[in-house]
């Protein structure tokens, strides 16, 4: 007869990380007392496979659900953003632009020349006769 504890262990095995030792214990608890060791070992192996398949299914389900929620929110996926970045780079190259947005080959503006200085006007020398 299966107890509530056995059901709980089965559910934990579905979503948790079922180790071979835990699978062996669970198989023993679910089997009749006189069951051969080979049958218990086979049942434990099947439980490990079953647990792994269910974890994979759960992971896939959660991944799809997250993807659906992000899509419904209008967020772009990484691959969509990467594709847009690639397209922008191609367009910039086609327009002769660099990554900074400047035209490649564009010359920097020439530096302004300083205004010409006026020659200093010499003041007449002061005489000491005053």
SS3 of the chain: helix, strand, coil, percent, to 5: 60, 0, 40
Q: Is the pLDDT reported for residue 15 higher than 80?
A: no
Strand ranges inside 1-130, DSSP E: none
Question: What's the rounded mean pLDDT across residues 124-129?
Answer: 61
> Considering the entire predicted model, what is its pTM?
0.49
Q: Is residue 90 part of a domain?
A: no
Q: For tokens 């367009």, what's the residue?
A: 91
Q: Is residue 89 part of a domain?
A: no
Q: How many domains does the chain have?
A: 1
Q: Is residue 82 part of a domain?
A: no
Question: What's the rounded mean pLDDT across residues 109-128?
Answer: 63
Q: Is residue 61 part of a domain?
A: yes
Are the CB atoms for 22 and 46 separated by under 8 Å? no
Are the CB atoms for 28 and 40 separated by under 8 Å? yes
Q: Is residue 15 part of a domain?
A: yes
- 76-101 confidence digits (pLDDT tens): 889 999 999 999 999 999 988 766 66
Q: Is residue 129 part of a domain?
A: no
- 30-69 confidence digits (pLDDT tens): 888 888 889 989 988 998 888 888 889 989 999 999 989 9
Instruction: Give the domain range for residue 22.
Output: 4-75
Six token digits for residue 38 = 């080979």
pLDDT at 111: 61
Q: Is residue 112 part of a domain?
A: no
pLDDT band at 107; cut points 50, 70, 90:
low
Least confident range of 8-12, 28-32, 38-42, 108-112: 108-112
Q: Is residue 26 part of a domain?
A: yes
């Amino acid at each position: 007869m299966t107890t509530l504890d056995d059901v709980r262990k089965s559910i934990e095995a579905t979503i948790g990380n079922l180790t071979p030792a835990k699978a062996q214990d669970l198989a023993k608890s679910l089997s009749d007392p006189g069951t051969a060791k080979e049958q218990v070992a086979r049942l434990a192996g099947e439980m490990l496979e079953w647990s792994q398949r269910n974890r994979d299914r759960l992971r896939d389900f959660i991944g799809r659900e997250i993807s659906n929620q992000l899509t419904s929110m209008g967020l772009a996926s990484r691959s969509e953003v990467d594709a847009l970045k690639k397209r922008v780079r191609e367009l910039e190259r086609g327009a002769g632009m660099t990554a900074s947005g400047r035209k490649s080959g564009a010359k920097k503006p020439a530096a302004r020349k300083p205004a010409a200085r006026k020659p200093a006007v010499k003041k007449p020398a002061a005489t000491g006769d005053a």
